Structure 1
Amino acid sequence: MIVAGDQQLLKQINRMALVRQLCSEPGLSRAALAEAVGLTKSTVSLLVRELLDEGWLAENDIRVTGALGRRATPLQLDRERLALLGADLGIGMARIVATNLLGEVLAEQELPYLDAADTAGCIALMAQGLEELSTCAALAGRTVRGIGVGLHGVVDDATGVLHHAPHLGWRNVDVASQLRAHFDGTPLAELPLFIQNEANVAALAELEFSGEHGADPLIYLSLNYGVGAGIIVNGRLLTGLYGFAGEVGHTILQQGGPVCSCGRRGCADALIGLQALLDEVYGRQQHPATPEQLEQLFSEAEAGDAHAAQAVETAGRNLGVLLNNLWVAFDPMCIVIGGAALRLGDRLIGPGRQVLDDCARATQLQAPTVRTPRFGHNVIAIGGAAMARHYLMRPFVDQGPARRGNAKLSELPPSVAAGLMAWN
């Protein structure tokens, strides 16, 4: 909640309003910036001087406009002096990156787990990697401003607790507290730490770092062992009452269809997710599937194996139904399809696009743009850095449980909490 009379908060809001304006309109002068954000020129001059000193902003060469008086000095985000850290606590490994304020990757690393069942060991590995990355040569002379982490499962972003990661077999892991404990006594100890579900994090990468304007609302559709989505509306994540908006894997696409892990039938997870594909092609296997089984599916689909190819095409058509449902529900400018299922390429995406195009022709409307992520397999780690930038530049956005009516997952009735967790 913003408290009236909190001058420090008001000042920080104004400072970051200038930074956000220059994200969307780099090259504005101080006078143009004052007009754009509605502050006085004197206030903008004072705030810009602070932001220049701290490394948020940089000045370009003076612009010749032909007008009388002092020549305008264009401003932009400084790509040289600050850094952000991002991490993807993935299924078989952690990926970590350091970026500048524009999302340009300065350093990156993959950290395979020694034992994916050892939650503390996996988190410790990632924490050590982030600490080492923050002091690597590529970040020499830079100040790290924040850390963002994407988790594959049900996340309470107010507390940093991963309640259920079904494809890791993890439950009720306090990721935030463990990371803070590892960061204690290091340069990362006092940095802002942000934790979110991986699809939300990837959506923020596309919002903050893609350089694409006019793509809001935006949906990031994550196709992995299960299906999820990150939804951006008016420049913010749509997280819902309890933080679980975007669980589109449990929208029903086929009444009476195959049984889903949530207990219902015909969910998107049970028709499109990689685990469902593996079950269809090879029969029900161990859960979660092994990386070797997944590679076998990719190889057989690429080689044109009839059974695998048919299963992928059917999943693709169901994907098209989901794309249509997302279109009519949110009317997005853009749907970004990401996740491990992209390895199936146009064999999966092509039928989905065709179904969506058929729906568009039937209604004589323009379907949204459908594309793949701009950041490849690093989209979640880069999204972690994007999440840090997103919230650092929005100090007025409440990060705590008040955003959800003071409700945490741990405080919900057991039946409600169990139902939400079963969705993943």
Structure 2
Amino acid sequence: MTSLFEAAGLDAEAPRPLADRLRPQTLDEVVGQDHLLAGKGPIARMRSQGRLASLILWGPPGVGKTTIARLLAEDSDLEFEPLSAVFSGVADLKKAFERARARRQQGRGTLLFVDEIHRFNRAQQDGFLPVVEEGTVTLVGATTENPSFELNAALLSRCQVLVLKRLDDDGLDLLMQRAEAEMGRPLPLDAAARIALRSMADGDGRYMLNLVEEVFTFDQDFKVSADDLATLLNKRATAYDKDRDEHYNLISALHKSIRGSDPDAALYWFARMLEGGEDPLFLARRLVRMASEDIGLADPTGLMIANEAARTYERLGSPEGELALAHAVVHLATAAKSNAVYVAFKRAQRAAKATGSLMPPAHILNAPTALMKDQGYGKGYEYDHDAVGGVSGQDYFPDEMPDRPVFYEPTGNGREAAIGERLARWRKVRDDRRS
């Protein structure tokens, strides 16, 4: 099989990067994707049945999307036609389709591999539909972004989406062992440094092999420690794109960790987002939202602390102000939780939309003019502070709403337990007055 290096027109005897030399030559050699390639995995089933559907391979960088596509072409006896959405336009697509049609007339099929397929706009994506439907090409698209958001529904309906996983420690270890076998010598790393190297790779096999190739240039007579490795190699920033999937994945993890009352997990995701370059003010705003949505009246101080943390960051900036945000993260995670006000507000919104423009009952309307008094405005109103217990029990809903809805149902968590007891007493006063 022709390597990517040779496909680029370079001499086969020229020096080749380690990652290219170790590129799998069969699907069985692909690391870390057994859920797709082995046993009852979808690609394994297709191979056993002698068929290949159009696919979208969705996964992080360096996990084998391009390699799997190339090997599938070879395994299915299809011509491999690669395109990159970054560098290709409509003209390139048309030429690729024409070549595929010409091959089809000669009895040979085409696997059209489109890297970064999400970079094509909607109209360009629609261009794939006829050639996929008529079988001119078997499309294999690769993307690092969520296909549900980035690809047309029509295109998705014609393809099977397969999710590739970031490589785990076992997979990265296997790549290190293959590299050592290829080079004929062990890596000059102690045990802790090998672990650190895996961590630096962050599940990216290609990046791991690039790091390994650099490590092989170190003095072979000395074992490098983890601390020395961090100095000798410039560790790349954590994989994080502030306007893409990873952004939403991590903020979801932070929010759910706080909602789930796990301060340690919440701090971890908070730190991950800061390390990835997230705007701390965005995090501050989200903490205020969490305090209102998930803590609520179970701990009213949560909203105050979240707001104060945001103001503290605005005054101090980074890195000093980040500690105030961390304070808020821990407080919210350890606070009593209630979404009762959030749920009540949604119920009230639905009721307001359904009932339209009903007027308040006359007795709670102000009557600044004689005409209004004649219309009954304010008649019979009782000043609640003068009532026994401070609650008159009057009805405050529109007269046209005979069934008095209950929107707010406090939980028994934190301070809402006492609120629930008060509301029960007050509702009894209202019920007794209506009966």
Q: TM-score range by the shorter chain?
A: under 0.3
Please give the TM-score of this superposition, normalised by the length of structure 2.
0.21
Higher-Rg structure is 2
Structure with greater helix share of residues? 2
Please give the TM-score of this superposition, normalised by the length of structure 1.
0.22
Structure with greater strand share of residues? 1
Instruction: Tell which has more relative contact order, 1 or 2 (C-alpha 8 A, sep 6+).
Output: 1
